[in-house]
Amino acid sequence: MNKIPFKGVIAYPVTPFDDSETADILLFKKQVERLVTNGSHGIAPLGSTGVMPYLNDSEKEAITEATMQQLAGRVPTLVGVSNLTTDKTMYHAKFAEKAGATAVMIIPMSYWKLTDEEIIKHYDAVTSKISIPIMAYNNPITGGVDMSPSLLKRLLEIPNVTMIKESSGDIQRMHYLRKGLGEEVAFFNGSNPLALAAFSAGARGWCTAAPNLIPELNLALYNAIQENNLGKAQSLFYKQFALLKFIVAKGLAGSIKAGLDLLGVGGGGFKSPLKPLSENEIVELDSILSSIESEVYQY
Amino acid sequence: MNKIPFKGVIAYPVTPFDDSETADILLFKKQVERLVTNGSHGIAPLGSTGVMPYLNDSEKEAITEATMQQLAGRVPTLVGVSNLTTDKTMYHAKFAEKAGATAVMIIPMSYWKLTDEEIIKHYDAVTSKISIPIMAYNNPITGGVDMSPSLLKRLLEIPNVTMIKESSGDIQRMHYLRKGLGEEVAFFNGSNPLALAAFSAGARGWCTAAPNLIPELNLALYNAIQENNLGKAQSLFYKQFALLKFIVAKGLAGSIKAGLDLLGVGGGGFKSPLKPLSENEIVELDSILSSIESEVYQY
Amino acid sequence: MNKIPFKGVIAYPVTPFDDSETADILLFKKQVERLVTNGSHGIAPLGSTGVMPYLNDSEKEAITEATMQQLAGRVPTLVGVSNLTTDKTMYHAKFAEKAGATAVMIIPMSYWKLTDEEIIKHYDAVTSKISIPIMAYNNPITGGVDMSPSLLKRLLEIPNVTMIKESSGDIQRMHYLRKGLGEEVAFFNGSNPLALAAFSAGARGWCTAAPNLIPELNLALYNAIQENNLGKAQSLFYKQFALLKFIVAKGLAGSIKAGLDLLGVGGGGFKSPLKPLSENEIVELDSILSSIESEVYQY
Amino acid sequence: MNKIPFKGVIAYPVTPFDDSETADILLFKKQVERLVTNGSHGIAPLGSTGVMPYLNDSEKEAITEATMQQLAGRVPTLVGVSNLTTDKTMYHAKFAEKAGATAVMIIPMSYWKLTDEEIIKHYDAVTSKISIPIMAYNNPITGGVDMSPSLLKRLLEIPNVTMIKESSGDIQRMHYLRKGLGEEVAFFNGSNPLALAAFSAGARGWCTAAPNLIPELNLALYNAIQENNLGKAQSLFYKQFALLKFIVAKGLAGSIKAGLDLLGVGGGGFKSPLKPLSENEIVELDSILSSIESEVYQY
């Protein structure tokens, strides 16, 4: 088993819905194919972008299986299996492993704020049921709990937990991870507007939905960092900054679907209560995408 | 239909679990019986205290039906039916109405932060499916979205939405509700440490799990307010303040279950990842309950 | 020495400036006379309302002396003497005592956030120089440091520190003060929109600039509390709530001066960079004052 | 006039006090000499590190003059002249210009939170009195007001205001400054733990007290950025990260003075209420400095 099977740009597909608000697997496969064709280094279905918590079990399973079929091992996969209860998290983790996932991503979802002990037992329980690696995901805004660096350190002592995804949006957290947990810790950035700062701080990869819309710029930023060319990375980052801000401010799922519609790919429908962007927001997104395109062609 | 069927102390039962982490309906009925016997003016199953989001559908339905059977109409019931998706919220609301609930409580749960328009459509959709009243519930901490007074005003224009439960813990919100939305708006306080201030501000009722442990003090506070006796209300509030702080700080579900164990009633087990209070916390709770008891007997 | 010389409504005058941006002592005396004539139980010059930190030493001294002359002992006085340095705080405290102040108010001003030890030494040093009582003032927003209840408890062990003014705007702080520090602790509320909740929680007095504009309502609220008539207090509070919110939201000094202009008393000028309210804000204030007047005359 | 006379590492000296709590000019000159000898690209007396707001006028003037005498034009100087009132800010700005300062730094200090209009008039008034450039300084924590990027944009339209120092500690602010205000805007980073991220984002310089203790590492980081060597910059940043965190967490003035004592230079005394670090804190600082030294010598 490769304990840290990811690096670079890990792309997050959306989950498109049909008119009856059920996951549209055909369109999903098409969107996933685009992501891998465009050069993403990994694919992560059932993330926040994929509105995982809004899906029922059969939708989650269909999305997982569709991802494996479509990719057929071309790039590694990271499947979201988080759930409020430990029991359901174990269930989905086992399903993902059996379906062929390279790794699973788990955020400790919370309605009631969990204690550190509760979080550790939660990961421990899931670990006992699978043998693929786990990426522990910290996102106080969607998950409702903020895992401190010292808690993350304890999680990394659980054998399968080998990677951390940080989405708190605070660059200091990454400095702590690197300095406090050691240089070999594999941490990934999940905050789009932090892409430049996180790579500068030593992030191993970038978990992002942006490759649905601007894959060349996302990959070029990573490549510039690999080449140790900060000036080029900075320039590439500012070219995509307006889009990265927009998709976070307006919500990843809605923004990416609107962008896929604008690009002619088709984003698919929504599951209530989630709704599409407003007309004005779509116009703003169109303008951002157009100005990126004209700038990049010049470049 | 009574559009505002509640006032006074609305008691929230826990959901006890058995060794296999399934809802223990027998113990639940016993706990509910205690609440009504002790004088609560209403019963609200499947609230945050009842860890509703952690239950599967059959558990939610069993709890709803058990409540109706046990109460047999003695006091009005307020059943929690919130869900991330609109579809599932409608499903549980219809179930509650059919089972005989007096009203349902709905908080706009969010993984992705909902816009005002999304929230309004969500309530609108549920309203179209039931004819009993809806209490709109604002709790930024558990629900993840903070409904502004102006949004609450718009919600109250939906016919069935006739009551508001405020749990943000900010007394100014209640001042705004009363002054901004009009004196006839029925708002209920869901923040225990705010009980005195909220009643002083004109709250019609108090949604609380505390009657599981100290029903006499909770009811006496409400009665003092009804008698327009502020001095007595203040004195009664400070007698229970330490407990109200404790159950909020340590989590309602865990604190109430520990208290029920200490009182010999039996709180029941937990569903993972939620765990019982620590030994030290239980000792602290025991000490608070003992000092209340000795003080109240003197009184 | 009366260790707790205040209760009820403690009124805060503004500091009016002339065209050369120097304190206008004549107009100040006229404004102070109105406050005492209208029934305020105490007068507190050189508070936040009086923009004390913007005055030079000779202005502070002139305001202190003018207050004593004008009042001539009719009501007790509470003079603000806070300063960034301990040395200057001692200087102004000694000046106030010599001029005849009943007590001084001290907030631990901070550019650099002070530690608890630094704050205690600061109060200790001032205490050693005067023999009149000190009101310790907590206001995280203007002062930049938030004194915890446990720090306030330590401050109250210093002999002269006998009173606490809480302006954090959080009613829970007052519950902690009353319950944690004991029923005999004299705490005063400095947050206008919290007036009803704070009196309900047991505040001994209300430190407020509102009596410059609506003294009858402010005093009537206190009297209703003294009569143990919560219903009346609630009704009186909501009559003045819009004004209390406005003066806090727009800034006390600017709002009160604008109100004094509207009432024909004259508020006086400002010291740069502080400026008057905008035209729109003044129109809004006028409308609030008019609707209060028409409501109160009916009452 | 050079409109943007700074780049690189701008070093902030402390203000040492003697036993009578008066500024110790002799020791100050010695400390300034060290900073310039060690290679700092600019010197900024009377900053937060220099506890400027705690000094009286004659101390501020003596520090300003001592800086000019000691440097004798070897590197540019940036003198802090901020004050609560516009009048005093103009006074100190004129003094600094006359004394020979290259530029002045102004933060809109606030007791009462200033409106955007008040802030603009404040800078406008000062600008009219001097002809050297102004660095507008944003630091919500010490200054009490948070200047939005759109306000900063308006400030930059005032002729003399040519530079921005950002100390909010949020890297997104710098992205906005660069992207929103244009590539030619000269922004400087004032948050030590953000040094790597800010340089990566395009900051022109780093305003820091750290060169009092570890000048080689601070300058080496800047040089690595100039060489477009991100890998080297990252490595150098993590070598100094523990110290940068420490001096911010414990307060710049106290930390730097303790460090100067440990290095044998002498940090000088404090002005009350500010006090030295505790014994434990000094031990912690000593350990951080020692581990840096051993690591750097190896390097």
ω into residue B273 within 30 of 0, thus cis?
yes
- Write out pLDDT tens, residues D15-45: 999 999 999 999 999 999 999 999 999 999 9
pLDDT greater than 60 at residue B298: no
Contact C68, C102 (CB under 8 A): no
Closest CA to C139 of D190, D112, D201: D112
CB contact under 8 A, A230 and D197: no
CB contact under 8 A, A114 and B273: yes
Q: Cα–Cα distance between C191 and C208 in angstroms, integer?
A: 8
The CA distance from C72 to the nearest CA of chain B, in Å, is 35
The CA distance from C246 to the nearest CA of chain B, in Å, is 13
Angle between helical axes of C279-298 and C215-226 (0-180°, round to 10):
50
Better-scored residue on pLDDT, A141 or C62: C62
- Write out pLDDT tens, residues B127-146: 999 999 999 999 988 777 88
- Give D238's contacts in chain A (Cβ within 8 Å): 175, 178-179
Q: Cα–Cα distance between B175 and B156 in angstroms, integer?
A: 17
Closest CA to A205 of A187, A183, A180, A227: A187
CB contact under 8 A, C86 and D273: yes
Of B197, B238, B242, the CB nearest to C197: B197
Q: Considering chain A, what is the average pLDDT of its residues?
A: 95
- Write out pLDDT tens, residues A111-165: 888 999 999 999 999 999 999 999 999 998 877 788 998 899 999 999 999 999 9
Query: Quick one: pLDDT at residue C1?
Result: 60
Q: Considering chain B, what is the average pLDDT of its residues?
A: 95
CB contact under 8 A, C275 and D117: yes
Closest CA to C284 of C253, C234, C245: C245
CB contact under 8 A, C121 and D21: no
Residue identified by tokens 């005058």 is C13
- Give D184's contacts in chain A (Cβ within 8 Å): none
User: Both tokens of residue B241?
Assistant: 């303040």
Query: Quick one: pLDDT at residue A110?
Result: 81
Percent of chain D with pLDDT over 90: 89
CB contact under 8 A, A179 and D228: no
Close Cβ partners of C230 (under 8 Å, ≥ 6 residues apart): B200, B225, B228, B229, B230, B233, C200, C224
Q: Cα–Cα distance between B27 and D182 in angstroms, integer?
A: 67
Of D51, D84, D274, the CB nearest to C118: D274
* Closest chain A residue to B117, measured at CA: A275
Close Cβ partners of A138 (under 8 Å, ≥ 6 residues apart): A107, A146, A147, A152, A164, A165, A166, A167, A168, A173
Q: How many residues does chain A have?
A: 299
Close Cβ partners of D252 (under 8 Å, ≥ 6 residues apart): D12, D14, D48, D49, D209
pLDDT greater than 70 at residue B30: yes
C-alpha dist (Å) from residue C123 to B60, C156, D136, D140, D291? 58, 10, 34, 26, 39
The CA distance from D228 to the nearest CA of chain A, in Å, is 6
Contact B129, B161 (CB under 8 A): no
Query: Quick one: pLDDT at residue D116?
Result: 95
Torsion of the alpha carbons at D281, D285, D287 and D290, rounded to the nearest 10: -160
CB contact under 8 A, C197 and B171: yes
Of A200, A230, A241, the CB nearest to D175: A241
Of A179, A193, A230, the CB nearest to D241: A179
Q: What is the DSSP string of B205-252?
A: EEEESGGGT-HHHHHHHHHHHHTTBHHHHHHHHHHHHHHHHHHHHH-H
Assign residue B232 a region (left: φ > 0; alpha: ψ between -120 and 50; beta: otherwise): alpha
Which candidate in B51, B57, B115, B128 is best for mutational testing of the A interface (most A CBs within 10 A)?
B115
The CA distance from A85 to the nearest CA of chain B, in Å, is 6
pLDDT greater than 80 at residue D1: no
Q: Using CB atoms within 10 A of its CB, is residue C84 exposed (0-12), middle (13-18) or buried (19+)?
A: buried
pLDDT greater than 50 at residue B299: no
* Closest chain B residue to C201, measured at CA: B234
Read off the pLDDT of each residue in C277-295 and give the average, rounded to a whole number. Answer: 95
Q: Per CB distance under 8 Å, which residues of C are interface residues toward B?
A: 169, 171-172, 175, 178-179, 193-194, 196-197, 200-202, 225, 228-231, 233-234, 238, 241-242
CB contact under 8 A, A197 and D171: yes
CB contact under 8 A, B229 and C231: no
The ipTM (two decimal places) reads 0.94
Q: Which long-range contacts (CB under 8 A, 24 or more apart) does A150-158 make?
A: A151/A116, A151/A119, A151/A120, A152/A177, A152/A181, A153/A180, A153/A181, A154/A116, A154/A120, A155/A119, A155/A120, A155/A123, A156/A181, A156/A185, A158/A120, A158/A123, A158/A124, A158/A127, A158/A134
Query: Quick one: pLDDT at residue A185?
Result: 87
- Give C175's contacts in chain B (Cβ within 8 Å): 193, 196, 238, 241
Better-scored residue on pLDDT, D142 or C284: C284
Which candidate in D166, D170, D192, D200 is best for mutational testing of the A interface (most A CBs within 10 A)?
D200
pLDDT greater than 70 at residue A299: no
Of A118, A142, A271, the CB nearest to B273: A118
Domains and CATH numbers, chain A: 8-298 (3.20.20.70)
Q: Give the three-class secondary structure for B183.
A: coil
Q: Give the other-Cβ count within 10 Å of C114's Cβ.
A: 22
The CA distance from C190 to the nearest CA of chain B, in Å, is 15
Cα first-last separation, chain D? 41
ω into residue A159 within 30 of 0, thus cis?
no
Query: Quick one: pLDDT at residue D265?
Result: 96
- Give D275's contacts in chain C (Cβ within 8 Å): 115, 117-118, 121
Chain-centre distance for alpha carbon D138: 12
- Give D120's contacts in chain C (Cβ within 8 Å): none
Pairing of the two strands B205-208 and B186-189:
parallel
The CA distance from D103 to the nearest CA of chain C, in Å, is 22
Query: Quick one: pLDDT at residue A140?
Result: 85
Q: Cα–Cα distance between B126 and B124 in angstroms, integer?
A: 6
Q: Per CB distance under 8 Å, which residues of B are interface residues toward C?
A: 171-172, 175, 178-179, 193-194, 196-197, 200-202, 225, 228-231, 233-234, 238, 241-242
Contact B92, B83 (CB under 8 A): yes
pLDDT greater than 70 at residue C176: yes
Close Cβ partners of A165 (under 8 Å, ≥ 6 residues apart): A105, A135, A136, A137, A138, A139, A187, A188, A189, A190, A207
Amino acid found at A97: E
CB contact under 8 A, C201 and B234: yes
Phi then psi for residue A2, to 5 deg, are -80, 115
Q: Cα–Cα distance between A54 and A149 in angstroms, integer?
A: 29
The CA distance from B54 to the nearest CA of chain A, in Å, is 6
* Closest chain D residue to C122, measured at CA: D273
Pairing of the two strands C205-208 and D186-189:
unpaired
> On the CB side of B39, how many CA atoms lie within 13 Å of its CA?
14
Phi then psi for residue A227, to 5 deg, are -80, 0
CB contact under 8 A, B228 and C230: yes
- Give D111's contacts in chain C (Cβ within 8 Å): 48, 51, 53-54, 142
> On the CB side of D63, how many CA atoms lie within 13 Å of its CA?
34
pLDDT greater than 90 at residue C111: no
Read off the pLDDT of each residue in B186-197 and give the average, rounded to a whole number. Answer: 97
User: Both tokens of residue C38?
Assistant: 């209208």
H-helix segments, chain A: 25-37, 57-71, 86-99, 116-127, 140-143, 149-155, 171-181, 195-201, 215-226, 230-250, 252-262, 279-298
pTM over 0.80: yes
Q: Cα–Cα distance between B277 and B268 in angstroms, integer?
A: 13
* Closest chain D residue to C83, measured at CA: D54
Q: Give the three-class secondary structure for A81.
A: coil
User: Both tokens of residue A76?
Assistant: 């590694």
Phi then psi for residue B214, to 5 deg, are -135, 60
Q: Give the three-class secondary structure for D208.
A: strand
Phi then psi for residue C105, to 5 deg, are -110, 135
Of C179, C193, C231, the CB nearest to B241: C179
Query: Quick one: pLDDT at residue A111?
Result: 84
- Give D117's contacts in chain C (Cβ within 8 Å): 275
Q: Give the three-class secondary structure for A37.
A: helix
Q: Give the three-class secondary structure for D43.
A: strand
- Write out pLDDT tens, residues C125-139: 999 999 999 999 999
